[in-house]
């Protein structure tokens, strides 16, 4: 067998391993992150904010949920820097440690009744660590898979790790749903801790899998061409600020409705329509299962119809569906609330199936980790982070749930603007003239063919 064929077989094997490693790691980290999202709606208002008005307790619980999103841009900066300096793989090992240990520690925090104000303080600190980890994980897992795949399959390869979001949600919802079935007060006494402590087992599994993956060909070419940026975050902010902004608008349109469909809807339905916690958690589990199927499906379709085109279609569908969603929820009929959440996953998956490749292709390989991280994690503050609080406030201020439909429409319009303006710079060529600073973009093989 020739050395060429041997290398091709080896590359295919490593591509499969990278796909499994990036996806499994994403599942583990989003299990931890989604676990907190569900807990903030179902568990934490009772255990960590028990002496306040139910409305205030909900706001405070969602506020601690939002701190994780506030920290995600910090993670994007830190791991964007190291991901473009030392490689995708090494950065992702660290994010996995951060997520696993912080989640397990949450399962050990005493309740408010035991240590008072220190309980929510510790919760916030650990949530900040989670946010930093996820802020660095998202782009890294996408690039680890996409950069090992073929160019004609970039949409599909990038979407698979993104489906780890759904798989992580599915796993966390299933575990919480199982623990809720514990009799009496067992769940709120000790049963809720089990899903968080289980993070340690997932952490070990994820580290074993990721340790067997090689660095991506794109980053190795950057290293071989001596084109590694000394300050990639500053470089990408200086050279491609509009790309970061447009990516942020697309992410805003994708993630804001999703936070409404899941985190906010669970709490709103429980408090206003007498829907049981287990009923909504099980609905969230079914929605997560849909993500596992439809995100890769739409990622595959994005390679056929065009990544940007599919993204626009998903945003337009979300704009229209937002008002139908509100109409179904406002009936208060449990079956229609479930239907609203489940159908919402379709336009969301259209967006999120295309977004990973769209955001990654918006930047040249040498600055791709930093650019994709900043472009998707900065809007996390205004999307998933504060969306549940904004919805709670809007209903309180306007007296109608229809204000949520307008909220979804506004972010969708912004997303359509971002998608139309975003450029594909993955094939960008540039040169470094003599005497320029070393942080300038170099002409490298991966910038010619990403």
Is residue 381 packed enough to be buried (19+ CB in 10 Å), middle (13-18) or exposed (0-12)? middle
Cα 171 → chain centroid: 15
- Specify the pLDDT at position 123: 83
- The residue behind tokens 């995600």 is 72
- Specify the pLDDT at position 299: 96
- Specify the pLDDT at position 226: 76
d(CA 414, CA 274): 35
d(CA 279, CA 266): 9
Helix (H) or strand (E) holding 440, with range, is: none
Cα 131 → chain centroid: 10
- Specify the pTM: 0.80
- Specify the pLDDT at position 435: 35
Contact status, residue 318 vs residue 376, Cβ threshold 8 Å: no
d(CA 197, CA 81): 31
Is residue 109 packed enough to be buried (19+ CB in 10 Å), middle (13-18) or exposed (0-12)? buried
- Specify the pLDDT at position 52: 66
Residues, the chain, total?
A: 450
d(CA 284, CA 182): 19
Identify the CA nearest to 41 among candidates 19, 18, 64: 64
d(CA 179, CA 93): 30
CB atoms near residue 150 (< 10 Å): 12
d(CA 42, CA 35): 11
- Specify the pLDDT at position 6: 57
- Specify the pLDDT at position 371: 95
- Specify the pLDDT at position 51: 66
Q: In degrees, to the nearest 5, what angle opens at C-alpha 331 toward C-alphas 257 and 50?
A: 70
Compute CA distances 16 → 9, 22, 133, 190, 350, whole Å.
11, 10, 24, 40, 24
Compute CA distances 296 → 27, 59, 167, 348, 351, whole Å.
14, 34, 12, 12, 11
d(CA 392, CA 372): 30
Q: What is the pLDDT of residues 274-285, one digit of tens each?
A: 888 778 878 888
SS3 content of the chain, % helix, strand, coil (to 5): 80, 0, 20
**Torsion sign across C-alpha atoms 195, 197, 199, 204:** negative
d(CA 441, CA 423): 17
- Specify the pLDDT at position 257: 94
- Specify the pLDDT at position 254: 94
Name residues of the chain where pLDDT drops below 70. Answer: 1-11, 41, 50-62, 65, 183-184, 384-385, 427-450
Q: In degrees, to the nearest 5, what angle opens at C-alpha 413 toward C-alphas 386 and 60?
A: 10
Sorted by where each starts, the structural domains of the chain and their CATH numbers stand as: 3-448 (1.20.1250.20)
Tokens coding 392: 């709670």
- Specify the pLDDT at position 284: 80
């Amino acid at each position: 067998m020739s050395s060429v064929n041997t290398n091709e077989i080896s590359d295919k094997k490593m591509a499969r391993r990278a796909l499994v490693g990036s996806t499994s790691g994403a599942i583990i980290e989003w299990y931890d992150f989604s676990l907190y999202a569900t807990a903030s709606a179902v568990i934490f208002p009772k255990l960590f904010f028990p002496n306040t008005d139910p409305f205030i307790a909900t706001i405070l619980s969602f506020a601690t949920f939002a701190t994780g999103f506030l920290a995600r841009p910090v993670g994007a900066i830190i791991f964007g820097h190291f991901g473009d300096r030392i490689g995708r793989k090494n950065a992702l090992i660290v994010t996995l440690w951060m997520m696993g240990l912080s989640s397990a520690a949450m399962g050990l925090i005493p309740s408010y009744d035991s240590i008072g104000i220190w309980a929510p303080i510790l919760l916030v600190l650990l949530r900040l660590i989670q946010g930093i980890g996820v802020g660095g994980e998202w782009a890294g897992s996408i690039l680890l898979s996409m950069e090992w795949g073929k160019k004609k399959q970039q949409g599909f390869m990038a979407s698979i790790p993104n489906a780890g979001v759904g798989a992580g949600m599915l796993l966390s919802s299933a575990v919480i749903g199982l623990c809720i079935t514990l009799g009496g007060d067992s769940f709120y006494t000790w049963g809720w801790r089990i899903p968080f402590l289980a993070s340690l087992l997932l952490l070990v599994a994820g580290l074993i899998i990721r340790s067997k993956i090689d660095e991506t060909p794109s980053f190795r070419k950057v290293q071989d061409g001596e084109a590694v940026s000394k300050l990639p975050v500053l470089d990408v902010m200086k050279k491609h600020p509009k790309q970061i902004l447009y990516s942020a608008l697309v992410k805003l349109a994708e993630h804001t409705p999703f936070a409404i469909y899941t985190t906010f809807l669970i709490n709103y339905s429980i408090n206003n329509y007498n829907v049981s916690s287990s009923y909504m958690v099980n609905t969230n589990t079914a929605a997560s299962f849909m993500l596992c199927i439809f995100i890769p499906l739409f990622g595959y379709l994005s390679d056929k119809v065009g990544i940007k085109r599919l993204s626009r279609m998903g945003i337009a569908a979300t704009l229209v569906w937002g008002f139908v969603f509100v109409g179904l929820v406002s009936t208060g009929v449990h079956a229609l609330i479930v239907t609203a959440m489940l159908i919402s996953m379709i336009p969301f998956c259209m967006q999120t199936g295309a977004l990973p490749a769209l955001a990654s292709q918006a930047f040249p390989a040498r600055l791709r980790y930093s650019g994709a991280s900043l472009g998707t994690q900065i809007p996390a503050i205004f999307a998933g982070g504060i969306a549940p609080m904004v919805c709670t406030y809007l209903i309180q201020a306007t007296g109608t749930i229809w204000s949520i439909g307008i909220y979804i429409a506004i972010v969708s319009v912004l997303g359509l603007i971002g998608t139309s303006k975003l450029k594909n710079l993955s094939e960008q060529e540039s040169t470094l003239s003599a005497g320029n600073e070393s942080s300038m973009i170099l002409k490298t093989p991966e910038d010619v063919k990403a």
